[in-house]
Amino acid sequence: MGIVIHEVGLRDGLQIEKRIVPTEQKIRWAEALMAAGVGIVQLGSFVHPDKVPQMADTDRLFAHFAESGRKPASAILSGLVLNEKGLERGLACGVEMFCLGVSASDTHSRKNTGMGTQEALDRVLAMARKAAGAGKAVQVSVQSAFGCGFEGVIPESNVLGIVRRYLDDGIRAVSLADTAGHATPEAVERLFGAILEMDPGLDIACHFHDTFGLAMANACAALRCGVRTFEAAFAGLGGCPFTAVTAGNHCTEDFVHYLHRTGRCRTVQMGPLVGVAGDAARLFERTLPGSVYRAVKPAS
């Protein structure tokens, strides 16, 4: 399996931004990301617009690509779902891959979903079965897998227990999310190693935040473990609005630059990624966390 970039900038990257990005601009960015060769693009999340106004047009975005035909066959459009109503919305508007998650932190789970971890897990498993039954791809995640901004250290046994429930339910695509940015390369290697011991054939993904400047180091550690799907956001935008300290995501173009320099993956083009990151910086009128877009001029 080659390396897959799961671009989450249009969801996790934008969800904390107060300046609403027009739908037409999101469409242009999504088209550029797919043209760059990004394998999976997360268009948005199905949440109440009062809680996350930036996601109010998620249904429209999916419907646009479902109806327009302007999507490469090689690209997959994913959407984040938190509850049954969101799942129904996603099924109605053309989501190809449903992303569902459970926090290993009970406190974070209640702030994010209004449910404790165990209740959320039961509901996510039921939704995953329904999405799979509808012929959709499903990826499940463990959020706050490496620590929590509210609770601090999360026992690794809690994370592995959630993963075991996923495996017992027949789910093969699992992501570990460092929601609070507490991961270290050592913890990444240990936890991913333990999961791959449970089932070496799993489709494992990672999702890192750069709260303490370790996102790139953690991604490289995951790469050494055999992880091949990396969730990242253009320009390093984003963060979870329901954690104690919000910080940006692992930066897509910075990671792709690293993959190019080390000869690991050249199927994703740098030019369109740098262009999207630069557009975002101009739109939000500030320097964004990513490094490469400031050092490399986009192709004219």
Is position 206 annotated as part of the catalytic site? no
User: Would you tell me how many other CB atoms lie within 10 Å of the CB of residue 279?
Assistant: 18
- Annotated catalytic residue within 225, 240, 251, 265: 240
Beta strands in 184-270 (DSSP E): 203-208, 229-232
CA distances (Å), 86 to each of 32, 48, 115, 179, in order? 26, 9, 16, 21
User: Would you tell me how many other CB atoms lie within 10 Å of the CB of residue 219?
Assistant: 26
Q: How far is residue 175's CA from residue 159's CA, in Å, rounded to a whole number?
A: 11
SS3 of residue 209 by DSSP: strand
CB within 8 A of 171, min separation 6: which ones?
128, 138, 140
Residues taking part in catalysis = 240
